[in-house]
Amino acid sequence: MESNIIDNIKQLKKLQDKKAKLKNTLSEINSEIDQLKSDLAKYMEHHDLQNIKVKGVGTAFLTPVFFARINKENYPKLLQWLDDNALGNLAPRKISPQTFQALYRERLENNEPVPGPDIAEVKTIKETRLLKKSK
């Protein structure tokens, strides 16, 4: 029985090492993906292309990605803005960065008022995304 436990401990260590190696590989792949998305977006934007269909792959399309954040000192202004725009009951009085970003994107897409630069820092980048071809 003891040798079985020892074997299991060795197997656990082996799997943990394998997992760490895969995490590093995944991180490297994600960096390459991000770089390609950025490069493709720049190319498509420069050539005024909204989408490109690739046989066997699907459609690459240019899309805006919003990054919106609130500085802690502007948080009271955000709460007031939510109240002023009938959104005070939308979220608890503590709003997460993800919730704020989703709210900002949704309101922008619907041409509704969004918090101004005195409340929120907003960065918009263009990104290329793939819409996979259905099989």
DSSP states along 5-55: HHHHHHHHHHHHHHHHHHHHHHHHHHHHHHHHHHHHHHHHHHTT-SEEEET
The answer to whether residues 73 and 99 belong to one domain is: yes
The answer to whether residues 40 and 86 belong to one domain is: no
pLDDT of residue 26: 95
The answer to whether residues 57 and 43 belong to one domain is: no
Q: Which residue has the higher pLDDT, 18 or 94?
A: 18
CA dihedral 15, 20, 22, 27 (to 10 degrees): 160
The answer to whether residues 63 and 121 belong to one domain is: yes
Domain encompassing residue 15: 1-49
pLDDT at 83 over 70: yes
pLDDT of residue 90: 65
* Residue-wise pLDDT tens digits, 90-120: 656 677 888 888 888 898 889 999 888 888 8
pLDDT of residue 118: 87
**Lowest mean pLDDT, pick from 27-41, 53-67, 77-91, 114-128:** 77-91
Are 56 and 133 within 8 A, CB to CB?
A: yes
pLDDT at 89 over 80: no
The answer to whether residues 56 and 45 belong to one domain is: no
Containing 62, the helix (H) or strand (E) segment is: strand 58-70
pLDDT at 18 over 80: yes
Cα–Cα distance, 83 to 96 (Å, whole number) = 17
* Residue-wise pLDDT tens digits, 41-64: 999 999 999 999 998 899 999 988
pLDDT at 82 over 70: yes
